[in-house]
Chains A and B, each alone.
Chain A
Amino acid sequence: MSKIPGDLHYTRSHEWVRRLPSGQVEVGITDHAQEALGDLVYVEVPQVSRRLVAGEACAVVESVKAASDVYSPVSGQVAASNDDLAQRPELLNSDPYGTGWLMRVAPDASAAAGALLTPAEYAQFLAEAG
């Protein structure tokens, strides 16, 4: 059973969202996603200051067998991206909710959080899809 921390929000495309005290949100891929992808060999993170629309492909995670898009859960501007992943893509496998974060986004003021899933909803979504 993959881990679903209780203090985060989720998407149906398997990204997680953490609200930071600064107002920014941190984004990564879920434990379930990293498990499904297998050992990651390359991660491409978005350029800082890039403007994103919710649902837009913003990062690529590549395993030996496949390269998959990561979609931005929110609209806003990229405030930081995790440059450590260029050298250590395996962080996404070993610590998907921590050092394996992908980017921090300053969300647009108007950005609605309604579309995101609660931990319980995401767990149910995985169970149904499972």
Chain B
Amino acid sequence: MPFIPHTADDIARMLQVIGAQSIDDLFDEIPPALKTAALHDVPPALSEMEVGRLLTERALRDGRPLNFIGAGAYEHHIPAPVWAIATRGEFYSAYTPYQAEASQGTLQLIYEYQSMMCALTAMEVSNASLYDGASALAEACLMAVRANRGSESRRILLPLTVNPTYCKVARNITGNQQVEFEAVNFDRRDGRVPLRALQAYEGQDFAALVVQHPDFFGNLEEVDQLTDWAHANKMLVIAVVNPIALALLKPPGEWGGLAGGTRGADIVCGEGQPLGVPLASGGPYFGFMATRMQYVRQMPGRIVGGTLDIEGRPGFSLTLQAREQHIRRSKATSNICTNQGLMVTAATVYMALLGAAGLKRVAAASAQRTADLVRALCQISGVSAAFDAPRFHEAVLLLDRPVAPVLAALAERGISGGLDLCASHPELGHALLVCATETKTDADIDVYARALADIMRPVRVVRDSN
């Protein structure tokens, strides 16, 4: 069924009015060299029935493993009301409606979402969401370059403890805008960014320092020291945070200030998926971003504001749109300022249902489960913790053998045992990133530990008895 409302007659009449022979004529101004003649990897169109069948088959491939992978996407319990509410007809759209102010309910929900994100991050203003966590970091880097008027550079310090996928996406998105990244090494013993690694950059001109907390390895960075150092060196601080962890940790808006006079992180961003969005084979998720009022006009994306209508009644409206792409075109603060309205709806319902106390319980239980998991796994010969820093709900384990075959053997037993870090961090050796959230029971951890112990049983070595 084609979802195009125009009949062939309609189209013929419209073409006649504008004096064009065919619809293709309308694209004449695009030079032929820029047109892709054939999309090689796109198969021919399928019917609804065929698509349904194909996607069902693909979904079944995921199986239902006992999952211990985190690395940026986290399995949390999603209370049933979350999606029951988010999929109601009144909310069920990925988009902020056109004529947004006619949809006061949608705007109110986004306004409440923004307020919750500000409370979680201790920042002054949040946007209505971005595409995902990785692109939110890219946008934060572009924003920092615009916002830091004390810096003339487009360079950003990017520690190797930041999610490598985020780094790749940030480089990809900002590459054509001349943003350069300088990789900062981490301490091999505790896995964190030490001040001494930053001292080499003192007195150099950088627009910002990125601090992921908890970092990609699950460790808690020394955010106060890092924030103070960056501010002392005229850099903005871009915080990449897990919203669930914020229920327990000091919010980025309060980082720093060891010598008094804190100003906190300048831009906060991250992945919103842990807040009620299912893993769903990798998406859709949503990115969040918050900042201080001082930088609000440099922030990409849309913002819903509270206001009074002509009769003095409270209402909501889109605000600060003047720099968005439908007005500023190529000079817009961002050209991918989509938001993820439906995911934000789920996240808002999730946060409202759990409340501050509920979020804290989820965060504390996840940290506890991971501590239990690490303890259980590290009792196995050939398994040890890579770092001794305090952590949230993820940890790097070192194995005495390559990780890939071990993960394959675990997969045969229905266990997704973690993420092999050999591609992203080969310098760590046989490193495995594991995660346990509140969804894992003692029995689950036991199943994993027994399976791993079995797989890791000392390899029989045939030796000369002499």
Contacts and interface: CB of A to CB of B under 8 A. Distances in A.
A42 B297 contact: yes
A47 B152 CA distance: 11
Given A42-B297, A44-B297, A47-B149, A62 B331 contact: no
Contacts of A112: none
Nearest to A46: B149
B1 to A, nearest CB: 40
Interface residues of B, number: 7
A64 interface: yes
A120 interface: no
B149 A67 contact: no
Nearest to B332: A67
A63 B322 contact: yes
B331 A66 contact: no
Contacts of B297: 42, 44, 62
A69 interface: yes
B328 interface: yes
A67 B331 CA distance: 9
A69 B327 CA distance: 13
A64 B331 contact: no
A44 B297 CA distance: 10
Nearest to B328: A67
A125 B328 CA distance: 25
A3 interface: no
A64 B319 CA distance: 9
B149 A66 contact: no
Contact of B327 (A42, A44, A47, A66): A66
Interface string B314-330: 00000000110001100
B322 A62 contact: yes
Interface in A58-83: 62-67, 69
Contact of A64 (B149, B322, B323, B328): B322
Most chain A beta-carbon contacts within 10 A, residue among B322, B323, B331 = B322
Interface in B161-192: none
A44 B331 CA distance: 15
Contacts of B328: 66-67
Interface in B110-152: 149
A62 B149 CA distance: 19
Interface in A14-55: 42, 44, 47
A65 B327 contact: yes
Contacts of A47: 149
A65 B331 contact: no
Contacts of B149: 47
A63 B327 CA distance: 11
B330 to A, nearest CB: 11
B326 to A, nearest CB: 11
Given A44-B297, A67-B328, 6 more contacts: A62-B322, A63-B322, A66-B322, A66-B327, A67-B322, A67-B331
11 contacts: A42-B297, A44-B297, A62-B297, A62-B323, A63-B322, A64-B322, A65-B322, A66-B322, A67-B322, A67-B331, A69-B331
